[in-house]
Amino acid sequence: MTVLPCHLIWNPEMSPFSFLGFEIRYYSLCWMIGLALGYFIMQWLYKQQKVNEKLFELLFIYCFIGILVGARLGHCIFYEPQQYLTSVKGFLEMLLPLHFAPDSWEWRFTGYQGLASHGGTIGLFTALWLYCRKTKLSFAWVLDNIAITTPIVAAMIRLGNFMNSEILGRATESPLGIIFAQVDNIPRHPAQLYEAIAYLIFFIGGWILYKKFPKKVGSLFYFGYCLTTIFTFRFFVEFIKEVQVEFEQNMALDMGQWLSIPFVIIGIACMIISRKKG
C-alpha cells in the first residue's frame, strides 16, 4: 500500500485528562457532548411545543439509560456473544464497566468498551415506549421529536470512534486516507468521519424540515426520515469498513448491514404512513 505525503497520521492521546482519579477518554467525552447537545435541543423542542418541563427531565433519564443499556447489550450479543455469554466473568463485564484479569478476580475500571448503535436504537425505542406509558404522551409525537435530535448525537459518537482509532475503514490509496498510528501504518478510509459528517448533514436537513413543517411532528415523518437516512448511509458505508469481528469474514453482508435493513424498511414505512396522514 503506497503512503502519500498527503496522508494524515492520526495518533492522539487516548485520555485528554483525568477527573477524580478516573481517566476521561475522548470517546466518553464525545458521548457526553453529544448527549448534552441532545439534551438542550430536546429541551428547546419541549418548550417550543409547550410541553410540561417536568416531563422533559424524565425523558432524558429514560433515554440515557435506554441508549446505554441497549448499545452495550447490542454489542455483546450481536458481535461478541462468545466472549460475554459463555462465562461468569464475561457476563459481568457485559453489565459492568470493568475488566477482570484472566487468571483471578482482580478487576480494573475500563468504562464500557464496545457499544453498538443498532442496540442503542432498540434500547431507545424500548425506553421511549416505557416513558410514553408513564406520561401518557403520544408515542408518535415523542418519536418524531427524538428523531429530530438523534443525528447530532450519532455524529458525536462517531467522532468519538475516530478519536479512539476504532471502527476503521479499509486500506486506500485515496488522498482521503488516514494512517491510524495506534493500529498500523496503512492509510485507511476514515469511515468514522464519513459517518459523522453524514449524520451532521442529516441533522441539519431534519432541522430545516422541522422549521418549515412543525405540524408534521406526531405523524412519524421525522422518525421515518431519521431511520431512513441514517441506516441507509450506514448500510453503504459498511462496504468500506474493515470487518469488525471474525465471523463476518465470509458473509456477503456484515452484521451492521443486516441490522440496518429492518430499520430502513421501518423508516420508509413511517414516511409513507405520514404521507397518508398528511
The answer as to whether 17 is a domain residue is no
Is residue 17 very low, low, confident or very high in pLDDT (cuts 50, 70, 90)? Answer: low
Where among 106, 136, 166 does a domain terminate?
Answer: 136
**pLDDT above 80 for 32:** yes
Distance between CA atoms of 82 and 93, rounded to whole angstroms? 13
Percent with pLDDT over 70 in the chain: 93
* Predicted local confidence at residue 256, as pLDDT: 85
If one counts the domains in the chain, the total is: 2
Domain hosting residue 122, numbered range:
52-136
Distance between CA atoms of residues 274 and 221, nearest Å: 5
Residues 65 and 142 reside in one and the same domain: no
Work out the number of other CB atoms within 10 angstroms of the CB of residue 192.
25
Domain shared by 142 and 248, yes or no: yes
- Same domain, yes or no: 123 and 214: no
pLDDT tens-digit series, residues 247-259: 777 777 888 899 8
CB 120 within 8 A of CB 153: no
Task: Considering only CA atoms, give the Rg of the chain.
Answer: 20
Residues 261 and 175 in one domain: yes
Q: How far is residue 105's CA from residue 143's CA, in Å, rounded to a whole number?
A: 43
Per-residue confidence band for 112, with pLDDT thresholds at 50, 70 and 90: confident
What does the alpha-carbon distance between residue 80 and residue 30 come to, in Å, rounded to a whole number? 24
pLDDT of residue 197: 97
Tell which of 136, 152, 180 closes a domain.
Answer: 136
| Pairing, β 8-10 against β 178-180 | parallel
